[in-house]
Amino acid sequence: MLEMLHIYLIKQNTMKKKTIGVFVGSLRKDACSKKTANYIAGQLSQKYDVTFVELGNLCIFNQDFDDEGTTPTAWTAFREQVKNLDALLFVTPEYNRSIPGVLKNALDIASRPYGQNVWDGKPGAVVGVSPGSLGGALAVSAIKVPLSFLNVRLMMQPEVYVSNAYQLFDEQGNLTNESTAKFLNGFVSAFDAWIEQA
């Protein structure tokens, strides 16, 4: 019995951590969405490997590149990176009542070539962030449409809309609002459970 327990503990200690990819919809270095993503990542990283996926180096999707065999190196690397992720977290601001173009472009690139959608079947969640009072609600709603089509297993509850975001962080980018921190910690717990049941 002790030997079996010992083997079980060894397996538990040597099991590879799952990797969560974080996709931030703003490329701005001081973006509130990036600060929010950093806070969430800090809570998740106790259990998972968390990696921020670079989106700014992806040129605009054009199917001709794949069709003509001139696929950009950045696309190939991005597709491979997404393919190897175990879970997905999208943290998005709201641009003109929708999602930023950089996020939509990333979704398109990793869904192609046709039949090679590397988003397929992965558990995911979306967080909206805005300096306004709606907390990016329309951006969250907008991104759920392509994510659902791409067969990402979206966690629907709790919904997360971080509003008045400029007031929540100090000059070093640390979250200072206790009620927001408590709410985001609850989201992290729910997302953890969602990933584990996938």
Domains (range + CATH), the chain: 18-196 (3.40.50.360)
Q: For the residues 186-192, what does the mean pLDDT come to?
A: 98
Q: How do residues 87-104 score in pLDDT, each as one tens digit?
A: 999 999 999 999 999 999
| Contact by Cβ (8 Å): 49, 20 | yes
Q: Is 74 exposed, middle or buried (0-12, 13-18, 19+ CB in 10 A)?
A: middle
For residue 113, count other CB atoms closer than 10 A to its CB: 11
Q: What is the pLDDT of residue 3?
A: 57
pLDDT-derived band at 71, boundaries 50, 70, 90: very high
> Which among 58, 36, 48, 54 is positioned nearest to 126, based on CA atoms?
36
Q: For the residues 53-65, what does the mean pLDDT come to?
A: 98
Q: What is the pLDDT of residue 15?
A: 72
